A and B are shown apart, each in its own frame.
Chain A
Amino acid sequence: GENVEQHPSTLSVQEGDSAVIKCTYSDSASNYFPWYKQELGKGPQLIIDIRSNVGEKKDQRIAVTLNKTAKHFSLHITETQPEDSAVYFCAASKVGNQFYFGTGTSLTVIP
């Protein structure tokens, strides 16, 4: 089955700086890679996703890059704000199949 690893487990950045979270996956057949943000006591919220036919996708301050050859993908958050503080999960799947989640990254943005 698929195995997704996520690093780092915790990340602290100063407000305004950038944050980068990286994930690797094992199954080369995986073709869909979403990122979720989970605030304390709430369900995960989809923030951005990327499919295997695209190398990069950007939505305002958030971007995701995908390297299919190396089987890794990354979340980039620029100009971080305190409200970006949360736990972020990556996931990998084949479209229409179950998600395999990373172990999560706790991001703290220091004002």
Chain B
Amino acid sequence: GAVVSQHPSRVICKSGTSVKIECRSLDFQATTMFWYRQFPKQSLMLMATSNEGSKATYEQGVEKDKFLINHASLTLSTLTVTSAHPEDSSFYICSFSGTGGLADTQYFGPGTRLTVL
């Protein structure tokens, strides 16, 4: 299957700071990317969807000015949590889907554990 990397794997920051999470597809061109957050023992909650070169489409209730998404290229997407607060602490996971035979499914990164103090 396709390989997706995510960096950093864990980050601890102070309230009010911004945190950037990188997501890379290592072996395929990712035309569509998704960002999820996951609270303990819960399912994945879709935050936003974006296509390369286009602005992200955010799910209802997700603040686009707080969670900045940049789908910079076919292999890189970033999520920046601006002015983070303790309630933003969560597990953030990216996923990509590709073209052709890779268009159907999503390949997930390993996730980033964000803790805001």
Chain A contacts to B: CB under 8 angstroms = 32, 34, 36, 41-46, 49, 51, 89, 95-96, 98-99, 101-104, 106
Contacts and interface: CB of A to CB of B under 8 A. Distances in A.
A46 to B, nearest CB: 6
Contact of B93 (A44, A104, A106): A44
A45 B108 contact: yes
Contact of B1 (A42, A46, A102, A104): A46
Given A32-B104, A95-B104, A101 B43 contact: yes
B105 A32 contact: yes
Contacts, number: 53
Contacts of A99: 34, 46, 106
Nearest to B110: A43
Given A49-B104, A95-B104, 11 more contacts: A34-B105, A41-B113, A42-B111, A43-B93, A43-B95, A43-B111, A46-B106, A46-B108, A96-B104, A99-B106, A102-B43
Nearest to B112: A43
Interface residues of B, number: 24
A103 B43 contact: yes
B25 interface: no
A89 B43 contact: yes
A41 B111 contact: yes
B77 interface: no
Interface in B33-52: 34, 41-44, 46, 49
Interface in B53-102: 93, 95, 97
